[in-house]
Amino acid sequence: MDCDQNPVALGAYLDDELHASEAAALREHIGGCPKCATEIAELVRIKRGFRAVGPRFAPSPEFRRRVEQQISYPSRRFWRLQLIPAAVFAAAVLLVVIASALFLHRPNDFAEIADLHVNALASANPVDVVSTDRHTVKPWFQGRIPFSFNVPEFAGTEFTLLGGRVIYFHQRPGAQLIVAVRQHKISVLIFQAGPELDRSFAFPEGVGHHNTFSIDTWQSQGLRYFVIGDADPSAIGKLSTTFKAANP
């Protein structure tokens, strides 16, 4: 299938560099374009790979101290820099820039949660178990994740359960449920809680915003819940309330 969509726009979309109207139009395009859906899923995979690798190469306090000592007292060292050929000096500066990007970058956990949502919607098979019946979806996760949770009853509500799949966040297995409301799809992600998640997602209760998505997160009974989507904040809040009631 031919598509004249600018590939740069896909990267800008993931990095929240597009205007809200442009992001909405591109999101709708991705939903109907297999080529762009495949490309954005690959971009998400690459971004998550960089986030996983980055923390392994964080500089130690001793390394940081030695660098600070080496760049101190500039007046005493300036004459030495004059002896370095310009090309070598430029290469050294470039190396420092690259090292800073690799060593000092920290993963944006909210961005990774958003990536999990985008990756599911961009996939040709967003769920592994396809069912609107909570009594089918909940048992499917047994033996696939190391915890259990309750799926609310959506009959008679504005929400429709589409299915679920197993996902991973910080090497933790978790559950992702896809719920539809009108023309929007919302992800409910559930993981075992831990101190690092509490630190990463510590902010006042209520629906917040990240990129073009509304997001709510809370902890209950040893589990960390995320509700994220491009639906209006009131819909995100209602779905969160529904899951809180089913998992007190």
pLDDT score of 23 more than 70? yes
For range 63-81, the mean pLDDT: 59
Q: Does 43 share its domain with 120?
A: yes
Determine the length of the chain.
248
Total tally of structural domains belonging to the chain: 2
| Amino acid letter for position 193 | A
Q: What is the pLDDT of residue 45?
A: 67
pLDDT score of 232 more than 80? yes
Residue 205 resides in a domain: yes
Residue 1 resides in a domain: no
pLDDT score of 86 more than 70? no
Per-residue pLDDT band at 57 (split at 50, 70, 90): low
Helix (H) or strand (E) holding 119: helix 109-122
Helix (H) or strand (E) holding 26: helix 20-32
* % of the chain with per-residue pLDDT over 90: 31
* % of the chain with per-residue pLDDT over 70: 67
Cβ count near 14 (within 10 Å):
19
| Amino acid letter for position 194 | G
For range 105-126, the mean pLDDT: 75
Q: What is the mean pLDDT of the chain?
A: 76
Q: Does 15 share its domain with 48?
A: yes
Residue 19 resides in a domain: yes
Q: What is the pLDDT of residue 9?
A: 76
Q: 3-state DSSP call for residue 146?
A: coil
pLDDT, tens digit, for every residue of 136-158? 999 999 999 999 999 999 999 99
| Residue finishing a domain among 103, 134, 168 | 103
Q: Does 154 share its domain with 75?
A: no
Q: What is the pLDDT of residue 60?
A: 66
Phi–psi pair at 49, nearest 5 degrees: -65, -45
Angle ∠(11,16,18) on CA atoms, nearest 5: 80
Helix axes 7-14, 20-32, angle to 10 degrees: 120
Give the residue from 178, 237, 247, 238 showing the smallest Cα distance to 209: 237
Domain with residue 133: its CATH number is 3.30.200.100
Which residues span the domain enclosing 222?
A: 7-52+107-246
pTM: predicted TM-score of the whole model, two decimal places = 0.60
- On whether the CB atoms of residues 137 and 177 are closer than 8 A, the answer is yes
Residue 2 resides in a domain: no
Per-residue pLDDT band at 105 (split at 50, 70, 90): very low
